[in-house]
Structure 1
């Protein structure tokens, strides 16, 4: 009943535009695509894997060179959907099947914002915000879900590894991931097992489902919101047969080139449908690449000039690809103004005339005036990075500060991000000037101690909100009974 009340409340808000004037919105989200993977960011053909269609969005829209996210798949997706730090929804760690962390029924999502303004809402591809019914996209504001990857692509490897471990077939079957699809009532049905073999096909099926949705909804009388959750370049990085060997650098490059091709198919569908001028296209990555994870030939992901990778708290983990195209409304350009994944929620709410909830903290800021050029500067100058419940880092302007020193794991480079640890410092935070020192190698606390003031202010403002809105207990797989 609470969910129905929330949606009803949002639906009563007057829109700033008529249905005919409201733009369609398509968000495409890459999975573990690094800052240095895409041509517009210095990768692409230079690295043996051209990305002309993604670059096309960058050249015809606004490309962010300082787009910041959260350190892993689930946290960033939670932040995108809710406009809140993932720790506020108990989703600041990667969801693993069988654990209790899941998107709660009372969260308000982008899907619900768009539904409140009369939009048709659809999602294809990866979700990774929980497999319980309250967390399904179709229970979180989306009308339909196709080619549904509820969890992580890692699950495609479970069957072989569990068989080698001698696990009983019943246990293997329970852990095996599936591809899902919603029925007319929004209930999810299993379509097929998500296997290593199907891993090579899934990206094409995601694009095909997105194209079918665009073709159908372009002829309807209501605007639409489509969320496309790609699975490339998440490990195992296995591209479709038509893309195997396409790049000059191996399987990772092949996957990037397929991702680019699938992006182009969706762009072409928008153009063919005659709705390009009234459709906002947003292309993002959820977090950084993992260049030390997996077999050697799949480690070609690049986080550009920044140190760090998927799962840690360094700049290279949270600074990645982000761009938006809106013909006639957003002037093509690149900007180094700070924008965060959390900002899409209030920004899109402003664009479509939806009301942002006032009964909970919203960490995103409205960037609509900056996007359209009505103001030259972003409305953001800081961002907190969490690892689990812990504040691991704070960005303020060009400075990055760490309460504790992050130490990569030793002996197993594929655990660089997820297996690293934090150790106490001398009582002062580590301070790095990201613009002068992109690798974060020179601690400047001795000459920049004044930055501690803004750092403490950002943390204090966040902590103040916890007095009225405490965070749920985060799931821990190492600490029990606390």
Structure 2
């Protein structure tokens, strides 16, 4: 729980960073405030506005969609947390970085180099005050005990013995364009369980906690006295609401990245939300999140900044089976809606997510778009909003959404193609209605799982026409060898040239050893 002292310090920090120059004051009327709310492990079908058959009540997020624009074919660059967050912040596909598969842990070093431009850098260069609040999960460099080095992967409690929590942390969000940063290092089930504010731990861990509930579990690890797992999501929302209120009184625009740790496990709805859905703890948790989104929308309106504030609500990947999706499915609620798979998979359920954009000054209420978009597109969107000219080594896989925000404008072709990635590094490429998967199975957690008997005898690739087969049930690769070849060639081109947008070729980040693609080898 936040103490009065913590809130006072937070307010002073906001006041310090909110000072605007005369030039920035003049730009306030031109540039919108931008708020991105990124949910964690929220399925496409978990929002009523996207799933008419859904059983979870989400009236506030539905209202946000009614007041703005729905994107019904929005995708994350990856089917898991860390790589999607990398793509969102950099406008670059995660597999171009040193992380070729999987996710980071709570002790992992920083993945994004300080020199790489992020969307926060872009907004800050235009006079925005920039803030990150929430789950980072992109690594930062913890202070270490003198003479010690990092040991272990960060999955066990003993892996944190060499961290000195009293020392400053380096390579933090503050080094990547954020004026203010407050959050925790990994997922809410990954130790250490401490808040970090502008590079410093807010309270030194004084105990070790673990939880073994079916849906509320978290790994054993050091925990600070001000870190209450059940209060983490409410804390992030409360701080974000306070931030919006404070910034609305200043002259310069602001960019807020609110990265929720929920409804990812541990599923922890507070007592007053437990059982409200009549469905499952996950649904209770989601209803609480929906209520807070409503509070964010209301505070924007009450502050008088609604007209020129762009709010994005989306998710980092599909719903997780660890959250009890099977229980909800038994009650008639399908987290992935009509799509196959879930979190971690290369199938649509792994990376197709709800995406809502509300900006009354520019976006027609109740509108929708069917074009395929990707979370990497936020980088170029921020650049076009602010007039920033992206260099060849910035936002290599990012297309601006601004043309799509005009509901009355016909956009025949938005992005050439979109690449997706699963937890084990399997690729898929989508162009128009066609999707080519460079793997025999899911590349993730659903059947057929990688390297299992279920994959034996299956073709090496999968080709689906999503217009006629959104559930990816009929593999058409044998009947369409030319389509397979053309999509594979385009994917190979994107990999080799280091970009999927027009511009000078770039290099993917080097790694130790040989980088072999899952399902095919780069020529």
Listed one character per residue, the Cα deviations across residues 305-335 of structure 1 (whole Å, up to 9, x for unaligned) are 1111111211110101111011031123122
SS in structure 2 opposite 1:36? helix
Listed one character per residue, the Cα deviations across residues 164-206 of structure 1 (whole Å, up to 9, x for unaligned) are xxxxxxxxxxx53212222xxxx32234769768222111111
The two structures have a TM-score, normalised by structure 1, of 0.82
For residues 60 and 456 of structure 1, what CA distance do their matches in structure 2 show? Answer: 40
For residues 450 and 420 of structure 2, what CA distance do their matches in structure 1 show? Answer: 15
Q: CA deviation at 1:394?
A: 1.4
> Which residue in 1 is equivalent to 2:519?
none
For residues 418 and 353 of structure 1, what CA distance do their matches in structure 2 show? Answer: 46
SS in structure 1 opposite 2:495? helix
For residues 184 and 290 of structure 2, what CA distance do their matches in structure 1 show? Answer: 20
SS in structure 1 opposite 2:362? coil
CA contact (8 A) 2:312 2:356 kept: yes
Listed one character per residue, the Cα deviations across residues 82-103 of structure 1 (whole Å, up to 9, x for unaligned) are 0000112223431123445622
Distance 1:404 1:225, change over 3 A: same
For residues 340 and 331 of structure 1, what CA distance do their matches in structure 2 show? Answer: 21
Map residues 377-416 of structure 1 onto 2, 5 A cutoff: 377-387=412-422, 390-406=425-441, 415-416=445-446
User: Where do 5+ consecutive residues of structure 2 fail to align?
Assistant: 1-22, 142-168, 212-226, 499-504, 515-523
> Which residue in 2 is equivalent to 1:455?
487
Listed one character per residue, the Cα deviations across residues 225-256 of structure 1 (whole Å, up to 9, x for unaligned) are 01111122101111122211111202011111
SS in structure 2 opposite 1:440? coil
> Which residue in 1 is equivalent to 2:139?
130
The answer to whether residue 290 in structure 2 is matched with residue 260 in structure 1 is yes
> Which residue in 1 is equivalent to 2:35?
26
- Which residue of the other structure, out of 477, 487, 494, is the alignment partner of 1:445? 477
The answer to whether residue 311 in structure 2 is matched with residue 275 in structure 1 is no
> Which residue in 2 is equivalent to 1:344?
378
SS in structure 1 opposite 2:272? helix
SS in structure 1 opposite 2:396? coil
> Which residue in 2 is equivalent to 1:66?
73
CA contact (8 A) 2:274 2:281 kept: yes
- Which residue of the other structure, out of 224, 237, 241, is the alignment partner of 2:267? 237
The answer to whether residue 328 in structure 2 is matched with residue 320 in structure 1 is no
Map residues 179-190 of structure 1 onto 2, 5 A cutoff: 179-182=195-198, 187-190=199-202
Map residues 183-262 of structure 1 onto 2, 5 A cutoff: 187-191=199-203, 198-262=228-292
CA contact (8 A) 2:72 2:354 kept: yes
For residues 464 and 424 of structure 1, what CA distance do their matches in structure 2 show? Answer: 30
SS in structure 1 opposite 2:494? helix
For residues 475 and 244 of structure 1, what CA distance do their matches in structure 2 show? Answer: 49
Q: CA deviation at 1:282?
A: 0.5
Q: CA deviation at 1:403?
A: 2.2
Listed one character per residue, the Cα deviations across residues 255-282 of structure 1 (whole Å, up to 9, x for unaligned) are 1101101111111111111100010010
The answer to whether residue 119 in structure 2 is matched with residue 110 in structure 1 is yes
SS in structure 2 opposite 1:243? coil
For residues 129 and 449 of structure 1, what CA distance do their matches in structure 2 show? Answer: 39
Listed one character per residue, the Cα deviations across residues 109-130 of structure 1 (whole Å, up to 9, x for unaligned) are 1111111101001111111111
Q: CA deviation at 1:297?
A: 5.5
Distance 1:358 1:68, change over 3 A: same
Distance 1:298 1:143, change over 3 A: farther
SS in structure 2 opposite 1:456? helix
> Which residue in 2 is equivalent to 1:139?
175
For residues 475 and 226 of structure 1, what CA distance do their matches in structure 2 show? Answer: 38
Listed one character per residue, the Cα deviations across residues 137-169 of structure 1 (whole Å, up to 9, x for unaligned) are 1111111123x12211122xxxxxxxxxxxxxx
Q: CA deviation at 1:446?
A: 3.2
